[in-house]
Structure formats: C-alpha cells, structure tokens
Homo-oligomer: A and B are copies of this chain.
Amino acid sequence: MDKPFLAKLRRIDPYVPGEQPQSQNIIKLNANENPYPPAPGVQAALRAFDASSLALYPDANGKALKTALANRFSVKPTQVFLGNGSDDVLALAFQSFFCSGEPILYPDITYSFYPVWCDLFRIPYETVPLDENFCVRLRDYDKPNGGVVLPNPNAPTGRALPLDAIEDLLQHNQDCVVIIDEAYVDFGAASAVPLLSKYENLLVVQTMSKSRSLAGLRIGYALGSETLIATLEAVKNSYNSYTMDAVALAAGEAAVKDETYFQQTCRKVAATRDRAADALRALGFSVSPSLANFLFVTHPQKKAADIFAYLREQGIFIRYFKLPRIDNHLRITVGTDEQMDKLIDALRAYL
C-alpha cells in the first residue's frame, strides 16, 4: 500500500524515558525522586479543591503561584515563569534564547535532554569536557558562543560549583543567555538566584519534582530578568496559553508556602546522602562529592554494568548510563535511611 502522507511526517529518534517499574516491592533509586511525601498542605489543597471551578480555564498567568515563588525568592512576580516541569521550561528557554546560530556550550557529561532540544530546535552546540574528576573547567567557557547551559549541581555527577564560580562564568559570558539548571540545588549547593539582580542575561531554572516531592505534578519554573521572562511568556503563549492546570497551581502554591517542611526534607535527604556516601566508600567505591539527591559512584574491581544488573535482580533499581567516560559509573538516588541500608547490605553481599 502506497502511503505518501508518511513522507510529510517529522522524522525523529524517539527519546526513551527511564524504566518505571510497577511492582510495589522494589526499591526505586533510579529517577532522583524524593523518598518523602510533599508538604502536608498539598494533600489539604487536593481535598479542598472545588471541582466545579474546573469548568473554567485556569489563570493563564498563574498569578498566585508566581507571587508565592516571587516572595520565596525575593524577586518580582514578573521575574517568574511557570511550566510543566523544568523540562518544559528548559525546552522553551532553549527555543527562546539560543537563536543566534552560534554554538551554545554545555558540559560533555550532563543532562541528556540538552542535545535532544538542540536537535529539535536546530541549535548548534559544542560540548565542553569536564576534567578527569568531572569538574567544570570555567576557563573553557571563555569563548564566543550562542549561550551557556550549566546544571548546578551537575547531573549525573552531583558535583556543584560555588557561587563565586557561577559569577565568574557570568562575568565572562555577558553577550549571551546563561542558563543555570538548578534541579538539584536545594540539597546543599548555592543557588544563583542572588545574582539575578546583577545579571540580566541569567536564567535560573528550578523544579518542584525533587526537593518538593512533586514529580507527579509537573511543576517547573524559571527566575530571571523581566526581559527574559517576557520572552519566555511570548513563546509559551504561542503554543498554548494555559499550560499549568488549576490543581497543580494550587498544590504548588501550598508546597512553596511550607518552608519549614521543605528545609527539613532537604536536610534529611542530605544527611542520608552523606551517610550512604561514607558507607559506599567503606565498601571500596569511589564516590564523587555530591551536593545533589543522588550519588555517582564507581568501583575499582567490579564493573558498573554488572553491579547494576545484580541490584536489579534484588529488586533495587539504580541508573546506569552506557555513555562515553561514564560507562563504568552508577547513579544512585538517595532514598530513606532504610532503603540505603538495604542497598549497602546488598552491595556488601555482592562484593
């Protein structure tokens, strides 16, 4: 059968999302999810939500959530952009800010969606190698470019740059937009938000998926100058004026307003991370210094792929990337103390 319409379809290599095992008995340390529930106000917001109001469109501007975020970060509501998870925000930012035709720069080992968006929006890019310890070499970013994207902490390494290093990067890159992807910043790294008042070309992207335990609700946001935010709004409104639904807006607002719970949860995850890192080192693992909610490890005697397969058989799911330079490493999400103890026990038995 002749199907000429097929020639008009977009040809794209499908991105394959990570495994989401359905069984209840597994220990899921493969998607950097938070092991603790969201703030109690989120459940209360869901219970109190009046379904009849859903017949109307949501506030296209998300005013209440933007105001809550603006208060939390001491910026104006017009400096806040909302999207369906930080992937949505980052994709729009790539499309909106990297239009010069010059290659953008980001690390060779980093979030796997960056090259996907570059291909999707036909943005040229150049990857900048991390050093042998997976550290960013700042001076490598001192060259003409169409933009810079830096996750801080980086993923999957977990390594973070201090605030003065981020400012150094901005000082040397004022002719382009610099995106700092702070998906994991709340577990101990320094946010670049205080630099927003000095650098109009800085966009800070964060998410409620990790530190606020709301991966299931898809809430990401960007903080930046009014110029950058207005550009993001214009591009968003060209796709879809109402990206955020009314329930997510209400639940996200409840999460942002509970600072105490947020701080406690982040501290618990960080403490478990540091304890698990010590236990892994005691088993002979080399563990990259992490300020994120995951650990990036390698073992001098055992192959990462074999450890990954063994743990999977034990019902413990972690992440293995078959990629250059890191194909003997494993990324382990920080779970509860109990989950990490089971992981360590399983690894001890294996070694």
Contact = CB atoms under 8 A, between A and B. Distances in A.
Interface of A: 3-10, 12-17, 20, 28, 31, 33-38, 42-43, 46-47, 49-60, 84-85, 87-88, 91, 95-100, 102, 116-117, 119-120, 146-147, 174-177, 200-201, 209, 213-218, 227-228, 230-231, 233-235, 237-248, 251
Copies of this chain, complex-wide, total 2
| Residue among A6, A213, A216 having the largest count of chain B Cβ atoms under 10 Å | A216
A218 B245 contact: yes
Contacts of A247: 46, 216-217, 245, 247-248, 251
12 contacts: A5-B177, A8-B99, A12-B231, A12-B238, A20-B57, A34-B55, A37-B51, A58-B216, A84-B240, A84-B245, A117-B238, A120-B239
B216 A55 contact: yes
Contacts of A100: 7-8
Nearest to A120: B238
Contacts of A85: 240, 242
Contacts of A174: 4-5
A209 B12 CA distance: 30
A102 B238 CA distance: 22
B227 A175 contact: no
Q: Which 4 A-B pairs have the closest CB atoms?
A: A37-B52, A54-B216, A43-B51, A216-B246
Given A38-B52, A240-B91, A231 B9 contact: yes
Contacts of A12: 231, 234-235, 238
Contact of A42 (B54, B96, B117, B239): B54
A153 to B, nearest CB: 20
Contacts of A214: 54-55
Nearest to A210: B55
Given A10-B231, A245-B247, 12 more contacts: A9-B97, A14-B237, A38-B54, A46-B47, A46-B49, A53-B216, A55-B214, A56-B216, A85-B242, A91-B240, A217-B245, A247-B248
